[in-house]
Amino acid sequence: MFTMSEKQLQEIHAKTVEILTKYGIHVNDQQAAEDLAAFGGSFEEHPKGGYTVRLTENMIEQALASVPAQFTLTGRDVSRSIVIGEKGTTAMLPFSGVLYKVDAGGVRRRAVWQDFVDSQKLSYISEEISVSSMLTLFPADRGGAEETQFDMVIETILDTDKPVLAAANNGLFSQFSLDCLEAVMGDLDRYYTVGTVNSLSPLAWDVTMLDTIRVFSERNQPILMACCSTAGITSHIDLPVTLLTCNAEILFGLVYAQMLRPGVPVVYGVTSAIGDFASMGLCIGAPETAVLSAMATCMARYYHLPYRSGGSLNDAKCCDPQAAYESYMSLWNTFEEDVDLCLHGLGILESFNAFSFEKMIMDEEIIRYIRRYRALNFDDYAWKDGLVEQIAKDGHFYDYMTDRATLKGMRKAFLKPVISDRAGNVAWGTEGKGFITNCGKVIEKRLAAYERPPIDEDAVLHLEAIRAEYLANLAE
């Protein structure tokens, strides 16, 4: 596990406070500037537009003192609830916010509505996914953007009874998501969803995200403060300096949320990565990116905050060896650093731009392997009386195949892979047991077996009424 000394953590925090109090953060939202000034901060117009907002040390200390260290995220089926921030618990989510699908043959195309529906079904069935996403992908074959996202919110609520990541890319969709959840749950007296907001690196926040913070704070639902800078391009090439500016951006959002609603849960999130100077792209599968994530974990623990990062991150263009080894490294880091909330946990490709259902199944297998390795402990094995003596007595002629322990444990003693092939080469070649083929069979079987979780018919009608009301308001 990656570690930082107390001195290093204190130094990052002290420099962060200096940035926030002396130099400020740029926002293009007058309401946020005025809100924070009312709580003790200050602001001034920037000559290039927008405002420079400065906080006070007291605001920062007050905010960090009021934010909870953990919270329970509740599903429509309460048995699926999960504690975010509980040691040893990692809430896995699928890919989110992508535009392209890569099929089994490696062909890339724009995602369509049926892909979205299938992503919800597969997320619901997956034993590794504990939180579904309302925005797994953006389909290209539907009408207006607002109407499509309204449909995505409702489809997700109907297709799963797990907790959900909300559609929170602006205030409108945030409000719609929460209204729909309230209609189904009956109230919002518990934490049913998480809204993701992203800072605008370097050292800025956009009005769409600040508006989302306002909506989620008002409704007392958890907020994921995520920074996604690119080291060398939108943040400094030295990782500790990138960590510093990420921290300043996250704490600014956290302070705003806590000033509006003291005690609203906030997740500390970093998806920042290094830049590739040949392509000018974000490299999420790089080892330096994993280290940056580990550094951010240390800061989240320093502040006693739940942490979001990690996942099956890679820069591969299809479900190939690069996707496998980069994802394994990132997923290993996810569990090694005890990440609390893991968005893009399964299925992501191409530096957040694409997804693959086959990759989703592959990531499940990777996660199973990692979980199994981490679960094995020498102390869990007991020495049966007389066993060593019997083995030593029979020596070379001891029959392990008919041993009672073998017969009793052969089906569960070892991890049985779902898609990895362990048969002989002949069976592999003649029965068509290639890796991608195996993934495809799992996908086909799960989609055929999917059944929607039960939901009250009046709740469905209520969802349609909310949708119609929002569309009518937009038409005006």
* CB neighbours of residue 104 within 10 Å: 15
* Cβ–Cβ under 8 Å, residues 443 and 101: no
C-alpha–C-alpha distance, residues 26 and 249, integer Å: 10
At residue 421, the pLDDT reads 86
Residues 107 and 162 in one domain: yes
* CB neighbours of residue 361 within 10 Å: 25
**What are the DSSP calls for 142-178, one per residue?**
SS-HHHHHHHHHHHHHHH--S-EE---SSHHHHHHHH
Residues 33 and 153 in one domain: no
Tokens 């609520």 locate to 157
**Cα separation values, 164 from 34, 280, 291, 300, 327, Å:** 32, 33, 28, 22, 23
At residue 423, the pLDDT reads 80
At residue 310, the pLDDT reads 85
Give SS3 for 194.
strand
Q: Is residue 406 part of a domain?
A: no
Answer with the one of 64, 90, 111 that is the final residue of a domain: 64
| Of the listed ranges 49-53, 97-101, 279-283, the one predicted with least confidence | 279-283
**Cα separation values, 311 from 93, 94, 344, 347, 354, Å:** 9, 9, 5, 9, 14
* Cβ–Cβ under 8 Å, residues 193 and 153: no
Residues 152 and 197 in one domain: yes
- Is residue 382 pLDDT above 90, yes or no? no
At residue 171, the pLDDT reads 97
Q: 26: which strand partners? A: 52, 204
Q: Is residue 325 part of a domain?
A: yes
Q: Is residue 456 part of a domain?
A: no
C-alpha–C-alpha distance, residues 95 and 343, integer Å: 7
Q: Is residue 402 part of a domain?
A: no
Residues 21 and 135 in one domain: no
Residues 42 and 119 in one domain: no
Specify the CATH number for the domain of residue 216: 3.20.20.480
Domain of residue 25, residue span: 6-64
Tell me the one-letter amino acid at 71.
Answer: F
* Cβ–Cβ under 8 Å, residues 135 and 109: no
Q: What is the rounded average pLDDT for all residues in the chain?
A: 96
Residues 123 and 11 in one domain: no
* Cβ–Cβ under 8 Å, residues 80 and 275: no
Residues 162 and 237 in one domain: yes
Provide the angle, in degrees to the nearest 10, between the axes of the packed helices 30-38 and 207-218: 50
**Token pair of 66, please?**
């009021």
Answer with the one of 374, 392, 427 that is the final residue of a domain: 374
143 — pLDDT class (breaks 50, 70, 90):
confident
* Cβ–Cβ under 8 Å, residues 92 and 130: yes
Q: Is residue 455 part of a domain?
A: no
Q: Which of 312, 229, 313, 299 is nearest to 267 (CA)?
A: 299
Q: Is residue 452 part of a domain?
A: no
271 φψ region: left (φ > 0), alpha (ψ -120 to 50), beta (else) = alpha
| Of the listed ranges 247-256, 317-326, 372-381, 455-464, the one predicted with least confidence | 372-381
At residue 1, the pLDDT reads 80
Q: Is residue 251 part of a domain?
A: yes
Tell me the one-letter amino acid at 390.
Answer: Q
Residues 160 and 124 in one domain: yes
The pLDDT tens digits of the residues spanning 75-94 come to: 999 999 999 999 999 999 99
**Cα separation values, 325 from 273, 320, 365, 415, 460, Å:** 17, 9, 13, 20, 43
At residue 370, the pLDDT reads 97
At residue 393, the pLDDT reads 93
The pLDDT tens digits of the residues spanning 420-441 come to: 988 878 777 776 678 899 999 9
Answer with the one of 304, 339, 374 that is the final residue of a domain: 374
Q: Average of pLDDT values for 144-169? A: 96
Q: Which of 143, 206, 142, 196 is nearest to 166 (CA)?
A: 196
C-alpha–C-alpha distance, residues 220 and 263, integer Å: 8
Residues 36 and 126 in one domain: no
Q: Please state the domain count of the chain.
A: 2
Residues 40 and 177 in one domain: no
* CB contact set of 234 (below 8 Å; sequence gap of 6+): 201, 202
- Is residue 263 pLDDT above 90, yes or no? yes
Residues 250 and 274 in one domain: yes
188 — pLDDT class (breaks 50, 70, 90):
very high
Q: What is the pTM of this model?
A: 0.94
At residue 425, the pLDDT reads 81
What's the sign of the alpha-carbon dihedral 180, 182, 188, 193? negative
Give SS3 for 203.
coil
Q: Is residue 269 part of a domain?
A: yes
- Is residue 144 pLDDT above 90, yes or no? no
Residues 190 and 257 in one domain: yes
* CB neighbours of residue 323 within 10 Å: 25
